[in-house]
A and B are shown apart, each in its own frame.
Chain A
């Protein structure tokens, strides 16, 4: 379908402020009488606070107040992520907050507090906690996850560990265990079976903007300047931390300096300024989070220790997968990355039979949260090099093996997960085919890895999946009496500009000139509808639907108003050039005139009467703008017949220095399956930025802990090692699958922000396997010293299943 606005490049309305420095992030705000908060955090990985003496702190000039855990609502216990804690379970967990007239005085007062801690047993390696008598990260339990796994204690038997030995994953009882198909039969009929234990390191989000926040109270409402990648979705969770109703929370979130999943919803430290402000009678409070605090209290991608067995037919078809994942869950509820291993493997490789087992184990490390492709990207990083290893053993081209398995051609018959339910669309095979052509794969691959002096050139392939959409959220649009379309959005400003891209659908449906549209965004003051969080891949699919239904509702109102004003029935009219015109010709009414008429009519026309099934947030927002024009709010009740499959493929050429272990990316192409392209430049930026992030995840980034002290060794960007612009090629290729469309989205669109990262990282790792003649490290990231040790026939520094080490 030809679109007037979709698929075209537009300048996001906030970009000028970003590039000129006028954009104001949470810590840029100041207010008269503002006070400053600093945190006293745990120096130990697990402890109990036995005494807090603030007498000296109170004598520090400028000291105002202390807020500690005893003043907050009682913890739910278990693995709950507490705002302030007297039972800290990771280094850097906030114990109390100090407010002072200046930030320096607050820091001085924090230093003057005498804190007594009783050290408790701690654990940073999940397997240590699973051993009989192993330490628990939280008193009373060692296993929990926010999705489907209650706080509990699980210990494996000594026999479980003895059977495995030191180099193979022990496999005891797990809370998650599912299977489809006849696994045993499929392994028996396999021509090749690979069985590997693996480690995928945890690594930080390290958003450029730390999670600073500020707050004040006014007329019973709390106003919070927060750093969040979601706007409307962040409000209920923040209200929950504050023990308030969502309608009493005013969240200002106009800009966000990076989230990568770590700021998808609100988080505990965001609540601290609001709680301190309440204690101080509403006085404005600013809390600036340092880079080190961001590493402690930000979140991190969960690490995996795992085992996988894959059976292949002689043609490369994946017959069976048996997978087992132990997740480093941190000390809180974490995220369900480990469960996504099962889904992702089942989608990308479409195995004929599969078993998946997983267990999330609590450790005394920073909270783990979703990071771009949570679980799916770790899956790709482990599985893709195995595909190439299998291909080389079977005498197949690695691309050929993938083409045999990957879902494509729309995804007819493709299934996902334990229950083998359908997916909405899939063009992964098409991505491989089109990408191979664009990347000139056959020519590059023809002679295998090329040795040039001390370097090896090799080509790799990556693939990845992420669930990419939902239904049931709301849209809100408004036409004011000047005829301008106002598109209200609760999508956050993550940096992907999808708040704009999804808003374009409303303009498209109503036939607007994009220059006469205003996006109302930036948090509660923009009167947001209830939108899904800005979870990368999900936004495009989900909020194109909400804007579609809201614009369609507006269209119906416009036709209705014209019929009432000009005679006839709504079916006698159509929209053209921001005017309602009679199909028979002659009569017309501009949108501006319709808006005036809507106010005159009131009721459902100007927002005074709303559908009952709208979310309370949408109702409140629509009510706030009621009477300002034609107001249309609608809930997305469009059908959704399966899991939305965000998919991506990637091709890479690397140059591996056999002497220094350095891997240089020579060329790269990311090619996602996105259905209809909403914004070509935005899409290309996502593909490129995901590639940079993927290269870091594959080659340099990891969390490191001293196992004796539980001390984190990464608390700065230079230690965390995300790639710099000098570490990536100047030109990173970005494309998309031509001819793809998702039939479950009214404009055929779906997201891809997350799988393009996993495709990039897995392609990077796959190319290393190609360069090293099929050697698979089974560990992510593959750092220089691992390559050096391998090529010099030296043992690796780490044991095969060791985690959080260098």
Chain B
């Protein structure tokens, strides 16, 4: 409520090694800031108040998009506008370019980064407001009471917390089998999307494999060319066309035979659980089939199977089905 950040020490490392050393030294006392669109809100509300803030914008190797032969590498500090406008991304991974162009607003995309987008914290308004919920280290979930306002919350995998992934890029990276490169103490490791996004059953206080208290830093996103040039789809259903988080989004990558038969397909939805949700029922259903109205009916039937709606979000069930049907239906175009 204050709109006035606490006092902190701002450090702007020039190299990755320097940043890693600082993170190793300060661990959970340090907070990495990328575009700042998530971090500064936390600071202004004084809900999060790290002593050290690392602004990593000066580290050159964290910027840019490059073709690495078998994969495309995207620096974590690459802006969403750069991704949306990249000819390389648009050609190989149009779903990612499309998702990047639907995140937040044009102004935010000019400073918001892909790393920040997939690492941002959940937008549960109770948690953001400083309620001492499970995710904030407390012992209850305020968004999952008999009267809670939870229109934007989960359909699946609640596990004490009903917050959802807010990222539009996350489901795309999930279906493209992306890997996230994380630096820790001078070493790097690659984490597949399926393991990168973390649900409350693994750790309720973080949403990704990046562990602040261990000095982790997301440095790069590698997207293998497995799905480059495949038929891809992204759609976001939201209240507004800009500066809004998805009610549900869908991402798909597919390979289709010349006769229209779906040979291989990966599809995921965001904003329905804490992590991007792969629609394995849909994937199992459509491979070997050709898009059709009959198939569409079945897609709608299975897309949200197992959903456990909360007070205000059962509309997401048909919405998931429709978006999944549209995604697969796009293959017949």
Contacts and interface: CB of A to CB of B under 8 A. Distances in A.
Contacts of A106: 4
A723 interface: yes
B147 A789 contact: no
B75 to A, nearest CB: 27
Interface centre among A291, A659, A707, A719 (most CB of B within 10 A): A659
Contacts of A784: 237, 239, 247, 315
Contacts of B314: 789, 794, 797
B315 A292 contact: no
Interface string B138-150: 0000100101111
Contact of A806 (B2, B151, B241, B244): B151
Interface stretch (B50-58, B114-122, B156-164, B316-324): B316-324
B142 A788 contact: no
B243 A717 contact: yes
A797 B315 contact: yes
A785 B151 contact: yes
Interface string B306-333: 0000011111001100110010000000
B105 A660 contact: no
Interface size class on chain A is 35 or more
Contacts of A662: 237
A111 B322 contact: no
A704 interface: yes
Given A721-B244, A784-B247, A293 B239 contact: no
A613 interface: no
Given A659-B326, A707-B147, A724-B242, A806 B1 contact: no
Contacts of A288: 3
Interface in A779-805: 783-785, 788-789, 792, 794, 797-798, 805
Given A662-B237, A797-B314, A806-B149, A41 B243 contact: no
A727 B240 contact: yes
A797 B4 contact: no
A470 B185 CA distance: 73
Given A660-B322, A707-B147, A290 B239 contact: no
B239 A783 contact: yes
A196 interface: no
B46 interface: yes
Contact of A721 (B46, B125, B237, B240): B240
Given A103-B4, A706-B149, A726 B312 contact: no
Interface residues of B, number: 40
Contacts of B145: 708
A788 to B, nearest CB: 4
A709 interface: yes
Contacts of B5: 104
Contacts of B46: 107, 111
Given A708-B145, A797-B151, A805-B312, A721 B239 contact: yes
A719 B243 CA distance: 9
Contacts of B326: 659
A789 B243 contact: no
B142 A709 contact: yes
Contacts of B244: 718, 721
A794 to B, nearest CB: 6
A711 B129 contact: yes
B1 A292 contact: yes
A719 to B, nearest CB: 7
B257 interface: no
Contacts of B242: 724-727
Contacts of B319: 659-661, 788
A713 B247 contact: no
Given A726-B242, A727-B242, A797 B1 contact: no
B123 to A, nearest CB: 9
Nearest to A786: B315
Interface in A693-735: 699-700, 704-709, 711, 713, 715, 717-719, 721, 723-727
Interface centre among B126, B145, B240, B319 (most CB of A within 10 A): B240
A107 B126 CA distance: 22
A724 B3 contact: no
Given A292-B3, A706-B149, A805-B149, A700 B240 contact: yes
Interface in B210-254: 237, 239-245, 247
A110 interface: yes
B46 to A, nearest CB: 7
A792 B309 CA distance: 15
A715 B315 CA distance: 24
A110 B2 contact: yes
A38 interface: yes
Contact of B241 (A661, A706, A727): A727
A384 to B, nearest CB: 22
A788 B240 contact: no
B171 to A, nearest CB: 16
Contacts of B311: 797
A612 to B, nearest CB: 49
Interface in A747-806: 783-785, 788-789, 792, 794, 797-798, 805-806
A806 B310 CA distance: 12
A331 B44 CA distance: 28
B285 to A, nearest CB: 19
A699 B149 CA distance: 19
Nearest to B45: A292
A716 to B, nearest CB: 8
Given A104-B4, A107-B4, A292-B1, A724 B241 contact: yes
Interface in A354-409: none
B151 A107 contact: no
A290 B129 CA distance: 15
Contacts of A792: 315, 318
B2 A706 contact: no
A708 B148 CA distance: 8
A717 B244 CA distance: 10
A724 B105 CA distance: 9
Interface string B93-112: 00000000000010000000
Given A662-B237, A724-B240, A806 B312 contact: yes
Nearest to B105: A724
A38 B149 contact: no
Given A107-B4, A288-B3, A723 B240 contact: yes
Contacts of A713: 125, 149
A727 to B, nearest CB: 5
Contacts of A296: 1
Nearest to B143: A706
Contacts of A284: none
A291 B3 contact: yes
Interface string B1-25: 1111111000000000000000000
A40 to B, nearest CB: 10
Contacts of B149: 704-706, 713, 805-806
Interface centre among A660, A699, A713, A721 (most CB of B within 10 A): A660
Nearest to A805: B149
B129 to A, nearest CB: 7
A711 B132 CA distance: 14
Contacts of A723: 240
Nearest to A716: B41
Given A288-B3, A292-B3, 13 more contacts: A290-B2, A659-B322, A700-B239, A707-B147, A715-B1, A717-B243, A721-B239, A724-B105, A726-B240, A785-B312, A792-B315, A797-B314, A798-B312
18 contacts: A107-B2, A108-B7, A111-B46, A290-B2, A290-B4, A293-B3, A296-B1, A659-B326, A661-B315, A706-B149, A707-B147, A726-B240, A784-B237, A789-B314, A794-B315, A798-B312, A806-B149, A806-B312
List the 10 closest A-B pairs by CB distance, nearest first.
A290-B3, A785-B315, A659-B322, A806-B151, A107-B4, A726-B241, A724-B242, A797-B312, A726-B242, A792-B318
Interface of B: 1-7, 44-46, 105, 125-126, 129, 142, 145, 147-151, 237, 239-245, 247, 311-315, 318-319, 322-323, 326
